[in-house]
Structures are given as structure tokens and as C-alpha cells.
């Protein structure tokens, strides 16, 4: 499901885990990818709505190179018993509830449908995904694109 050739840019979707400590490196990598080859690479960070301000703040650290060169796309965070609405990042969760963020992130039945829908909509050429979202490797294979996992 790679791009149709009408765009010369390599489109990469990056999907970080719900922690600022993971979003930072993913954001830095996205900025470096686009800065290295601005005419050839298009990067999109895929996050849940409550994580958009965190990503924007991380992009602002890079100045115009970050703010203008990296796109942000969102997918919904599922409702989770015990988590207030809008708590979608470890840094925003109460200490007693932090485990709930990890549990939902590792739950393929909760997370895969939304991530898969976004990937299919964006039609990237490659995926860079957090290792928490292990199913994205299978999705990438199914769609005929490379996938890199790290955390």
C-alpha cells in the first residue's frame, strides 16, 4: 500500500508509546529525517489527541525545522476503566493509575484498530513504531512496507 508514485517524497509514519520519554526520541528522529532530506522525506507523528500538545512542544524545541516539517495525525485513545478522559500519557496519570496506560498500550484488541485505520488512511511508505505496538510490524508486512520497531 505504498504511495502511488505521484509524490516523490518517502512518507514515514512514526507511532510512539504514550510517554514523553518515548515521544521525545520519536520526535527528534522525525525532525532529523525531514531535515536531512527535506525534498525527499515527509514525516508524520501519529498520537492520541491528548498527546498532541506534548508533540507540539517537542517540535517547538527544533524551531521552524520541527514545527513546519513534521505533521501530526491523531487516532482515538480508548476509554479505560479507572482513567479519567484525556489522560493518555504516563506523565498525566496518577502514580496508582500509570499501569493502566501500559496495559491499554499493550492490548492489541484496544489499540490496533485505531492505529491500523490511521495507517491505512495515511498510506505511508514505511512505519516506525514503538515496540509496545508490536502488531504494526504485521500490519506493515500485510501492506507491503517496511517497519522499524524500537523504544
> Which tens digits make up the pLDDT trace of 24-69?
999 999 999 999 999 999 999 999 999 999 999 999 999 987 888 9
- pTM score, whole prediction: 0.92
Q: Residue 88: CB partners within 8 Å, gap ≥ 6?
A: 18, 48, 49, 50, 51, 77, 101
Region of 14 on the Ramachandran plot (φ > 0 left; ψ -120 to 50 alpha; else beta): beta
Q: What is the mean pLDDT of the chain?
A: 93
Q: Which fold has domain 10-150?
A: Rossmann fold (3.40.50)
Does residue 5 surpass a pLDDT of 70?
A: no
Model pLDDT, residue 67: 82
> Which tens digits make up the pLDDT trace of 98-137?
999 999 999 999 999 999 999 999 999 999 999 999 999 9
Amino acid at each position: 500500500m505504498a504511495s502511488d508514485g505521484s509524490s516523490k517524497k518517502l512518507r514515514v509514519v512514526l507511532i510512539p508509546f504514550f510517554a514523553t520519554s518515548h515521544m521525545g526520541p520519536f520526535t527528534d528522529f522525525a525532525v532529523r529525517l525531514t531535515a536531512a532530506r527535506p525534498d525527499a522525506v515527509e514525516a508524520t507523528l501519529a498520537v492520541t489527541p491528548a498527546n498532541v500538545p506534548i508533540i507540539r512542544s517537542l517540535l517547538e524545541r527544533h524551531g521552524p525545522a520541527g514545527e513546519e516539517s513534521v505533521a501530526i495525525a491523531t487516532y482515538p485513545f480508548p476509554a479505560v476503566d479507572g482513567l479519567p478522559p484525556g489522560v493518555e500519557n504516563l506523565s498525566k496519570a496518577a502514580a496508582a493509575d500509570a499501569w493502566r496506560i501500559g496495559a491499554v498500550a499493550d492490548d492489541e484488541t484496544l489499540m490496533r484498530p485505531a492505529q491500523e485505520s490511521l495507517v491505512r488512511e495515511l498510506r505511508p511508505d514505511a512505519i516506525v513504531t514503538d515496540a509496545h505496538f508490536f502488531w504494526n510490524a504485521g500490519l506493515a508486512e500485510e501492506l507491503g512496507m517496511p517497519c522499524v520497531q524500537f523504544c
